[in-house]
Amino acid sequence: MPDREKMNLPDLLGAITGGERLNLDVVQCALAVRPARTPAGRAFEAILLLQNASDVDVDVTASVRLPDRDAARKRNRFFAQKERLLVGLRPAEVGFLTLPVSSSPKTKPAPGYKLAIDLAVKRVGKKKAGRVRAADGGGVFVETELPEDRQEHIWHLQQMVFSAARAGRSGVAATFEVLPPSPGGVADLTPEWVSLWTMRDHVDDSLLAERVRDQLNAVLPHLHRETVFFPLLDVVQTHFRRAGFWLKAGEAVYITKLLTLVLEQGAPEVEGEAVQPDWFRRTCRVLADRPAVAKSVPLLVQEFLFFDLVRDAVRLGLTMIGTVTGEDFGDESEQEDYVNSVLARLQDGGMDFQHAYLPLVLGGLIANMRVVMPEEDPRESIALLQKARHYRADREMDEYSEPVFDLTDRLIARAQEQVGG
C-alpha cells in the first residue's frame, strides 16, 4: 500500500474552480450561484463544491445564510427551500451540493447580493486523519479518466464562477445579482448531492502498470527518436501556436529534442514504489482504457502524452540547465510551481519568451548532441536557433527577459564548441 501521508490525490476542485478554494479543517470548498443573475421571484441555486482532503469519513453540515434585507432594506425577500443539509463525505471524496433558493417578486433589483453557506466539519470515527491532498490543491486531474456523465457535470461546473471568500469563522460566500421580474416558468429545483470522485476512481500506479505490462512491452521499445520526433514536432508547433507563441524553426526543433530525450530515457522497472515520470503514468492509464492505442505511437504521443511530456521536460530542463550553468532555480517546491506555470501558459494561453526558452528551448539545446536525427547537421540546428534568438531580441528584450537572452547566448556558445563550429 502507498503511504497515504505522502499521497497527493487528483485535485478536482482546483480543476473546476481554477484554483480557488477555502480550507476548513480537512475539507476544501468553493461556492457559486447558478445562475449568477436571476430575475426577482425566480428560483436559483447555490452550488457548493466539497473536496475531502483526508483519508477518513467526514460529515459536513451546510447551513444557508441569505441576505437579511434587499437593496431597498426590506426584510423577508429571500427564501431557502431547505436551510440545512448534511453530507457524508467518504475518504478523499469530491462532489457538489445544490441548494435551491429563491427571491420574492418584490425583491429590489441590484447587484452584489451575498449568499453564504456555513459549514460544520466533523471527522467520523476514531481513526487519525491522514492528509491525501495538499492544502493548496492536489495532484494532476485527468477528466477523461472519469465516466462521461461525470465529465459532463464537471464541464458544466467549469462554466461557473466559484468563490472561496470566507464568511465568518466557518463559512464561504458568493455574490449574485437580482434582475427585474420577468415572465417565466417555475423551476423544479430540489436539493441534491452529486459525487464526482471517490477512492474507487483512483488506481495505484504500480498496480496499474502491472495490469498493462503486455501493452507496455509492446509500445515502450518504439518510443524513440525515429518514431516520435516528427509527430512531437508537429504537436509542439500546434500547441505553442494555440498558446499565442509562434515558434521559429530552431525553437521548435530544440523543444522537440528535449521531449524526445524524456521518452528515450525510458521508464523505471514496473515494480515496487519506483518514481515514475508523468508520461509513463499517463501511458499506463491510456493503455488500460484504450489498449488499441499501443498500435499507434504517433497517436499516443500527440493525443494523450503531450502535456505530461512537457511537465517532465520542464523538470529535466531545469535540472540540466542548473547543472551546466550553475544557475539556482530554487528548491523542489519552487521548481514545481514553475512547472505548473509553464503548463498553465501552454494550456490556457499566454505563453511567452521566458517560459518557452527557460527551460524547454534551452534544455533541448543542451541535449543537442544527445538527440541527433538521421542526416541532421547539429551546426545547422544551432544556426536556426541563433536566427530565432535575434528575431526575439529585436522584439522582446527588456529588463525581465534579458537574463534569459544572456543564458541563451552562453548555451549557444557551449553548443558551438561541442560541434566544433
pLDDT confidence of residue 130: 85
Q: Kindly report, residue by residue over 326-367, the tens digit of the pLDDT.
A: 999 999 889 999 999 999 999 888 999 999 999 999 999 999
What was the pLDDT predicted at 186? 59
Kind and range of the H or E element at 114?
strand 110-123
Question: Could you tell me which residues come within 8 angstroms of residue 245 by beta carbon, excluding any fewer than 6 positions away?
Answer: 351, 352, 353, 356
> What's the grid cell of residue 354?
521566458
Q: Give the residue carrying C-alpha cell 512491452.
A: 217
For residue 121, report the phi and psi dihedrals to the nearest 5 degrees. -105, 125
Q: Which CATH class is domain 4-201?
A: mainly beta
Cell of 400: 525581465
Q: What would the DSSP string read from start to end of 350-391? A: ---HHHIIIIIIHHHHHTTTTSPPTT--HHHHHHHHHHHHHH
Low-confidence spans in the chain with pLDDT less than 50: 1-5, 270-273
CA atoms 259, 263, 265, 267: torsion sign: positive
Tell me how far apart the alpha carbons of residues 306 and 360 are, in angstroms, rounded to a whole number: 13
**Residue pair 252/233 in contact by the 8 Å Cβ criterion:** yes
Given this model, what pLDDT does residue 269 score? 53
- Residue pair 24/59 in contact (Cβ under 8 Å)? The answer is no
pLDDT at 250: 97
In DSSP terms, which residues pair with 110 in a beta bridge?
Answer: 178
**Alpha-carbon separation of residue 127 from 51, 57, 402 (angstroms):** 19, 9, 54
**Domain extents for the chain?**
4-201, 205-419
Number of alpha carbons in the 13 Å side-chain half-sphere of residue 196:
27
Q: How confident is the model at residue 2, as a pLDDT?
A: 38
Beta strand 37-39 with 171-179 is parallel
The answer for 268, left when phi > 0, alpha when psi is -120 to 50, beta otherwise, is beta
- Bridge partners (DSSP) listed for residue 69: 75
| 378: its cell numbers | 547539429
